[in-house]
Amino acid sequence: MDDQRVGAALRALRLRRGLRQADLARVAGIGQSTISRIERGHLDTLPLRTLRAAFGSVDARVAPEILWRGGSLDRTLDERHAELVGVVARHLRDRGWTVVPEATFSVFGERGSIDVLAGHAASRHVLVVEAKPTLMSIEETLRRHDVKVRLARDIGRKRFGWQPAGVSRLLVVADSGRTRRTVARHAAVLEAALPDRGWTVRRWIARPVGVMAGLWFLPLSYGRAAGRQRAPARGPDRRRGQGA
């Protein structure tokens, strides 16, 4: 986040609304001197909530960018998400599912994308997968997942060309100590929404019967291990005896 650019942005938005610094300060509930400091790019000692209050008063949102080793952390998170989606997609394809990663949709005014939309033609079942390398807001994750599941019959029919007989949901999270602790803290909510786990999930994927609502811890290393082929075992080196 470039401090000078942030200050210039607030000033431009304030002037566009025809506000003085005193007017903006009054609406935001902070001092005029603070508005002046922001506009001059002096952000070092200001708490994030102050910036949010100032920008919120001109209908803008502060989204700090975190830089890590010279690059955007967003790119790193996106890479982990893409890797997890790939792992899930390979696992489902190996078990006979047709897979559409990052399936976009627009149904009844609802727009978005499904991390992994999978269809099982033999059972006419659709699976809506939400993939999370890390878990942030449990409530928001479940809410968005529920919207996609609710629309999945229509989305699945258009994508796969057959009418789904059932729709199931699966939240896949990268297996780590942090995600397991997050799940443990929110156990009551997650167990009510996604009661199926582990072996039950794997067995259902192999043979989808009935409706499944599951949470699955999946190590990212699964995809790398599955992509490697074991080298063929070497027999005895007959040349060694011939050359002796």
Task: Tell me: pLDDT of 64 over 90.
Answer: no
Q: Model-level pTM? A: 0.64
Verify that 78 and 51 share a domain, yes or no. no
In a domain, 208, yes or no: yes
Verify that 20 and 90 share a domain, yes or no. no
Verify that 162 and 135 share a domain, yes or no. yes
Which domain range does residue 12 map to? Answer: 3-56
In a domain, 65, yes or no: no
In a domain, 160, yes or no: yes
Return the minimum-mean-pLDDT range out of 6-10, 183-187, 236-240.
Answer: 236-240
Work out the average pLDDT over 61-80: 62
pLDDT tens for each residue of 155-164: 999 999 999 9
In a domain, 198, yes or no: yes
Verify that 130 and 221 share a domain, yes or no. yes
> 160 with 119: CB under 8 angstroms?
yes
In a domain, 66, yes or no: no
pLDDT tens for each residue of 91-115: 999 999 999 999 999 887 788 899 9
CA distances from 236 to 128, 231, 242 (A): 50, 15, 12
CATH of the domain at 218: 3.40.1350
Verify that 167 and 197 share a domain, yes or no. yes
Work out the average pLDDT over 31-43: 93
- What does the alpha-carbon distance between residue 169 and residue 144 come to, in Å, rounded to a whole number? 12
- What does the alpha-carbon distance between residue 89 and residue 116 come to, in Å, rounded to a whole number? 7
Task: Tell me: pLDDT of 7 over 80.
Answer: yes
Verify that 25 and 116 share a domain, yes or no. no
- Amino acid 21 reads Q
Verify that 201 and 119 share a domain, yes or no. yes
> 168 with 132: CB under 8 angstroms?
no
pLDDT at 135: 85
CATH of the domain at 28: 1.10.260.40
Cα torsion for 176, 178, 184, 186, to the nearest 10°?
Answer: -120
**What one-character-per-residue DSSP string does 32-73 give?**
HHHHHHHHTT--TT--HHHHHHHHHTTT----PPPEETTEEH
Verify that 128 and 27 share a domain, yes or no. no
Of 70 and 104, more confident? 104
The total domain count for the chain is: 2
Verify that 135 and 171 share a domain, yes or no. yes
In a domain, 236, yes or no: no
In a domain, 216, yes or no: yes
- What does the alpha-carbon distance between residue 23 and residue 36 come to, in Å, rounded to a whole number? 12
Task: Tell me: pLDDT of 152 over 60.
Answer: yes
Verify that 102 and 156 share a domain, yes or no. yes
Helices 32-39 and 3-16: crossing angle in degrees, nearest 10, is: 120
Token digits for 25?
């300060």
pLDDT at 230: 40
Verify that 101 and 146 share a domain, yes or no. yes
pLDDT at 236: 43
